Amino acid sequence: MPFSFVSDRFIASRGGNPAAAQSAGYRNWVANVPDCGLALETALLHRACKAKGFSVTSAVQAAYVLTLAQHADPRHKLSQYVTANQFNLRRFLPKPYNSSKYAVSVYYMPLPFKIDLPSSFGAVAHTLNEYYKTSYENNAHALQLKGTFTRVLAAVVQTPEFLAAPGPRDALVSSLGIVEQYVNRTYGSLRVKDIAMGIDVVMGMSMLHIYTFHDQLRLVYSYNNAFEEPANIQMYLEKVHGILQRELMF
């Protein structure tokens, strides 16, 4: 069960004037990364995370936060990391709307997350894990407020101050979990060898999706190359890989 570091499912918008050679080099890089290196396996990573008391999603995002902290714009506040993480609220819906038996729709909800920096990998991972476990789980009050919060957030992003500010450079992180919960490995005599996902990134906000398929952990970084350099995305992913190796594998 190799720990696949698959990032070649990225979608780069056609907007802007990116360096074609650099983009081609990035695509070549991701196309030739079958796994993360010697003896690295998704199962091993999962066991390490379980032993330390946090999820794989929390571990990957913690590594990403620490990576961003190394490359943060010094003109901005460096003592905190602030983002909005995504929650899938579909399972909280009444039957049959809470399952794939009903029509597919989007039931995700963004929720702010903040942590003081500098922090250790373990501290960030544990904080994220607690945040994901308690924000909506057994929290009826938070579920009742989701509509109000969404309307407030929608109003904020349309204000002149928000529109005039530089766009966020970090990616929104979203975990799809185990994809086999939604896509079977086989359908009768047909075998699903692979899946591909894509997002049309119109503005500067990127997305980092975390999921497993065929027991392989994958990271999918979707971005608009009018706003981001392919070499930077490659560097971020390599550093996330390195942090996970250092903190959990060796």
**How does pLDDT run across 55-73, given as a tens digit for each residue?**
999 999 999 999 999 887 7
pTM, two decimals, is: 0.79
- CB of 9 within 8 A of CB of 197? yes
- CB of 196 within 8 A of CB of 163? no
Full set of structural domains in the chain with CATH: 20-249 (3.30.559.30)
**How does pLDDT run across 136-195, given as a tens digit for each residue?**
887 878 878 878 888 888 898 889 988 888 777 789 898 888 888 888 899 999 999 988
Measured distance CA(43)–CA(41) in Å, rounded: 5
Distance from the first to the final alpha carbon of the chain: 18
